[in-house]
A and B are shown apart, each in its own frame.
Chain A
Amino acid sequence: MSSLDMKQSSRRDFIKISAQAAAFLAIGFDSLANGTGVKVKKMPHEPHIGVEINPYVLINESGKVTLFNARPDMGQGTSQSIPMLIAEELEVRLDQVEIVTSDGSDKFGSQMSGGSSSVSTRYLPMRTVGAAVKEMLIQAAANQWKVPVSACYAKEGRVYQKNKSISLGYGELVASAAKLPVPKNPTLKNPADFTQIGKSIPRPEVPSKVNGTAIFGMDVVIPGMLYASVAHAPSIHAKVKSYQGEKAIASPGVKFVLKTERKMPHASTEAVAVLADSYYSALKGKRLLDIQWESAEAETMNTDKYFNQLHEAGKSSGFEYKESLKGDVEQAFSSAKQVLEASYQTPFLAHAAMEPENATVYVQDGKVEVWAPVQGPDSLVTELAAYLGLKKEQVKINVTFLGGAFGRKAYYDYVLEAAHLSKQINAPVKVVWTREDDIQQGPFRPGMLSVLKGSLDAQGIVTGFEHKMNGASILNQVFKVPLGNAPDPWAEEGINLHDSPYAFPNRRNSFSLISTQIPILWWRSVYASNNLFGQESFIDELAHAAKKDPLEFRLELLKDSPRFVAVLKKLGELSHYQQLKAQGKSIGIAIARSFSSICAHAILVEKQGAGVTIKKVYSVIDCGVAINPRNIKAQVQSNITMGLTAAIKNEITVVNGQTQQSNFHDYAVLRQGEIPEMEIFVMMNNEAPGGVGEPGLPPVAPALCNAVFLATGKRVRKLPFDISQVS
């Protein structure tokens, strides 16, 4: 996926001057409502006027620079990291520019925040964009001064003549610069000369997030809009047999009670919406609805039954991943000194971002405008155009800040729901899900089962290693890709040969598909969050069976992968691993590569009563070139917290179609007093940048459970587990 994305982006990112280069172009939030007197009240809506040198850079004659960020910010920091790549080469400081999130239109190319791919796929394309524009501005200045380009340089939005005190601002140069040919191969800066990349510069949007002015989807107000609260089926999938809305419609503030639909990629379900002039009136109206559902089929959905099927499937071999196949595992197992087998189960999980799903949509004749927290405005344009039978050019997306997402806000059922309602009443509609909707309706991270088998020779060297993944396929359910007799390529994330270079002479990975109607989706770090729990726990089991130290055991198996070795050695140092081990302390480790970055954790626990307490988490991450080291640490902390929550708090269970959890009382997340101390180290190198938003998560649960084993002798093979009562 990443190399494909790279190819596409370099093709898209060719620098082009728009036809009327010297003319002023206005792009941005030109509300659909223009001409009808309706205005966007709370979105940044001033038209962006200036010379559009390429889709990402807009400079006007007063020197104002606008940079477009085509990676929505859900808290991972892309509203800084992506524009910074342009700014570094363009020689402007980030606090001199305005940053605007792209609107989904084709000219920006791929605009999806996901797969921790934002920086890794944009690192060179975005820098090239900035460098090309800078070269044009310098050329324009050189022409005006009649001096060679080599006598000029750019800094902080101005072009200077060397050794002279004359300079011209970018605004003064932009009109003539835009008439120049675009350099085909602009020179990129030497990383040693970076003034912003790698510097932990404060993120520009932070002040707006401490004074209440940052606008999230939840905060969008469009004049004339109605608020909608939707009664979704308790069993997720259902038809509305009949409903009585009289009491709701009589309730103060309620304007409409409408049957509607929730369109998911794999199914459509019916629902009833109450629309009112305030959100609370809509919510109250919803409570007065009386709905009879038809959901017999959905009522057969049970997570217990699903896991039974997984365990059944795990007994036979699934479809093997050909690229990861090495040697002959069966042969290795039959001639081994010791053979170990174990199964590891991971649960369904809800994303539970702090900001519940919401969207404001205005469908009018031949056009639609959206204001919403979404991860990929371009994919939403495609989906919404198809849903409403419009052309892509008729769809306009205004991306707000996202109050967390973790994958959920790349699934647009909530936006389509608002569109369906707006279309029915010809007015803007803001749909706001409750926390109960968020936790009960899915999509969820699929529960999975890893069945592992490994063999050791007399010296305790691994001779064979098999990992059988069993469970649902996101590719199949959400993207409707038939798998046939092939494994799901995404489900091997984190354990394929590239991600997991353990030197096993014989190796086999396979996948068995167990389909479900329970809506599923990627959840922070996707299948790596499932796979690595099994893989890194089982490596630990093998180490103990071989009577070797788990850190040494991994170092030996990874000795041909220098970046892994460096991370493990650093982790050993950072955590005082040897000393702690010598003192008999319980410190568990795990390492994983996912989304092109390597992250390892060492977790120190102490026995307490029948369980353990987590004393400290040490982490080392190698994500290649570090754009903002401080933000990288923050993302690792974030992943540790989410990974621990997933390991020791609640799971999602479905009984007869109904999700059993509903809000933060029974789907708990870690709170301030439950957070262990953390110490994080970011490796500094010049490797290609990898992901940061997810790679910290997969090694959390196995590192914890490996420590629990040391402290209690109990091997945790099923998540979540009760840390106060390990049995």
Chain B
Amino acid sequence: MGKYSIKLNGKKHLVDVASDTPLLWVIRDEIGMTGTKFGCGMGLCGACTILLNGKPIRSCSTPISTIKPEDKLVSIEGISSNTSHPVQLAWIQEQVPQCGYCQSGQILAVASLLESNPNPTDADIDTALAGNICRCGTYQEMRKAIHSAAKSMQVNPKTKSK
């Protein structure tokens, strides 16, 4: 066991866990934030996606020991304080979620995509989301929502990042 300091959604957390503990379980069981989901445990489905310094990572396959105290981690709970991130708004607008279980991961992957690529093509979307499975098959609605979020972020660049 060891003590680790991590910064999640702008807040510092001290946790005492084994060094190989995946971030997923640290966030869910130790910190108690359950928006990040367990889907496969092998980096295959993307349900556990969070952002590490703005880039999507699979938290199920990222041991806590690889995280530096100054690293910035963002989970779905930290993407906006009142469900106001343009990607969240577009998701509501297009009524994307069905069961909803994969959506935290999808939204974070998209938020990161739009940060680096404000006007993604369909091919860019395919690449960026290749690691995120939706068993309910909400892919088409997601694609629509991504394009509409991209538009709203261009019209309103201030909402782009908080």
Give residues in A with beta carbon < 8 Å to B: 42, 74-77, 202-203, 205-216, 218-219, 221, 227, 252, 278-281, 284, 352-356, 401-405, 432, 434-435, 630-631, 634-635, 637-642, 663-665, 669-673, 675, 677-678
How far apart sit A432 and B34, CA to CA, in the bound complex (Å)? Answer: 14
Q: Given A211-B88, A663-B44, are A634 and B37 neighbors across the interface (CB < 8 Å)?
A: no
Q: Which residues of B contact A355 (CB under 8 A)?
A: 37, 39, 99, 101
Q: Which residues of B contact A637 (CB under 8 A)?
A: 137-141
Q: Which residues of A contact B129 (CB under 8 A)?
A: 671-673
Q: Which residues of A contact B95 (CB under 8 A)?
A: 202-203, 206, 630-631, 634
Which residues of B from 24 to 46 have beta carbons under 8 Å from A? 25, 28-30, 32-42, 44-45
Residue among B35, B36, B129 having the largest count of chain A Cβ atoms under 10 Å: B35
How far apart sit A208 and B76, CA to CA, in the bound complex (Å)? Answer: 11
Q: Which residues of A contact B127 (CB under 8 A)?
A: 673
How far apart sit A212 and B142, CA to CA, in the bound complex (Å)? Answer: 17
How far apart sit A74 and B75, CA to CA, in the bound complex (Å)? Answer: 23
B130/A206 in contact, CB under 8 A: no
A284/B91 in contact, CB under 8 A: no
Q: Given A76-B98, A354-B101, are A284 and B18 neighbors across the interface (CB < 8 Å)?
A: yes
How far apart sit A213 and B37, CA to CA, in the bound complex (Å)? Answer: 12
How far apart sit A279 and B34, CA to CA, in the bound complex (Å)? Answer: 13
Q: List, sorted by A's number, 5 A–B pairs whose CB atoms are closer than 8 Å.
A: A207-B83, A353-B101, A403-B101, A670-B137, A675-B139
How far apart sit A593 and B153, CA to CA, in the bound complex (Å)? Answer: 44
How far apart sit A219 and B37, CA to CA, in the bound complex (Å)? Answer: 9
Does B143 interact with chain A (Cβ within 8 Å)? yes
Q: In the complex, which of the residues A210, A352, A402, A638 contacts B103, with contact meaning CB atoms closer than 8 Å?
A: A210
Mark contacts of B35-77 with chain A using CB atoms, 8 A cut-off: 1 yes-contact digit, 0 otherwise. Answer: 1111111101101000000000000000000000000000111
A75/B33 in contact, CB under 8 A: no
How far apart sit A221 and B138, CA to CA, in the bound complex (Å)? Answer: 28
Q: Which residues of A contact B141 (CB under 8 A)?
A: 634, 637
Q: Which residues of B contact A352 (CB under 8 A)?
A: 135
Q: Which residues of A contact B41 (CB under 8 A)?
A: 434-435, 663
Interface of A, secondary structure class, is loop
How far apart sit A252 and B1, CA to CA, in the bound complex (Å)? Answer: 8
Mark contacts of B86-106 with chain A using CB atoms, 8 A cut-off: 1 yes-contact digit, 0 otherwise. Answer: 001001100111111111100
B34/A218 in contact, CB under 8 A: yes
Q: Given A212-B104, A221-B32, A663-B44, are A675 and B140 neighbors across the interface (CB < 8 Å)?
A: yes
Q: Which residues of B contact A281 (CB under 8 A)?
A: 18
Q: Given A210-B83, A213-B35, A672-B132, are A354 and B88 neighbors across the interface (CB < 8 Å)?
A: no
A214/B18 in contact, CB under 8 A: no
A665/B1 in contact, CB under 8 A: no
Does B150 interact with chain A (Cβ within 8 Å)? no
Mark contacts of B101-133 with chain A using CB atoms, 8 A cut-off: 1 yes-contact digit, 0 otherwise. Answer: 111100100000000000000000111011011
A402/B99 in contact, CB under 8 A: yes
How far apart sit A281 and B21, CA to CA, in the bound complex (Å)? Answer: 9
Does B6 interact with chain A (Cβ within 8 Å)? no
A672/B75 in contact, CB under 8 A: no
Q: In the complex, which of the residues B83, B107, B130, B140 contacts A671, with contact meaning CB atoms closer than 8 Å?
A: B130
B39/A356 in contact, CB under 8 A: yes
Q: In the complex, which of the residues A74, A221, A434, A670 contacts B99, with contact meaning CB atoms closer than 8 Å?
A: A74
20 further A-B contacts with Cβ under 8 Å, apart from A218-B38, A435-B39, A671-B130, are A208-B100, A211-B35, A216-B101, A278-B30, A279-B28, A353-B101, A354-B39, A354-B136, A404-B99, A404-B135, A631-B95, A634-B95, A635-B98, A637-B137, A637-B140, A663-B44, A669-B133, A670-B137, A675-B137, A675-B139
Q: Which residues of A contact B138 (CB under 8 A)?
A: 634, 637-638
With both beta carbons as reference points, the residue of chain A lying nearest to B89 in the complex is identified as: A210
How far apart sit A218 and B45, CA to CA, in the bound complex (Å)? Answer: 16
How far apart sit A34 and B140, CA to CA, in the bound complex (Å)? Answer: 46
Q: In the complex, which of the residues B99, B107, B130 contacts A673, with contact meaning CB atoms closer than 8 Å?
A: B130
Does B8 interact with chain A (Cβ within 8 Å)? no
B99/A403 in contact, CB under 8 A: yes
A634/B39 in contact, CB under 8 A: no
A212/B139 in contact, CB under 8 A: no
Q: Which residues of A contact B100 (CB under 8 A)?
A: 75, 205-206, 208-210, 214, 216, 401, 403
Q: How far is the CB of A272 from chain B (nearest CB, A)?
A: 19
Residue among A42, A211, A434 having the largest count of chain B Cβ atoms under 10 Å: A211
Residue among A434, A634, A641 having the largest count of chain B Cβ atoms under 10 Å: A634
B32/A641 in contact, CB under 8 A: no
A664/B40 in contact, CB under 8 A: yes
How far apart sit A634 and B45, CA to CA, in the bound complex (Å)? Answer: 21
Q: How far is the CB of B38 from chain A (nearest CB, A)?
A: 6
Residue among A75, A212, A435 having the largest count of chain B Cβ atoms under 10 Å: A212
A672/B101 in contact, CB under 8 A: no
Q: How far is the CB of B148 from chain A (nearest CB, A)?
A: 14
Q: In the complex, which of the residues B21, B47, B137 contacts A641, with contact meaning CB atoms closer than 8 Å?
A: B137
B35/A212 in contact, CB under 8 A: yes
Q: Which residues of A contact B45 (CB under 8 A)?
A: 354, 435, 664
Q: Which residues of B contact A227 (CB under 8 A)?
A: 29
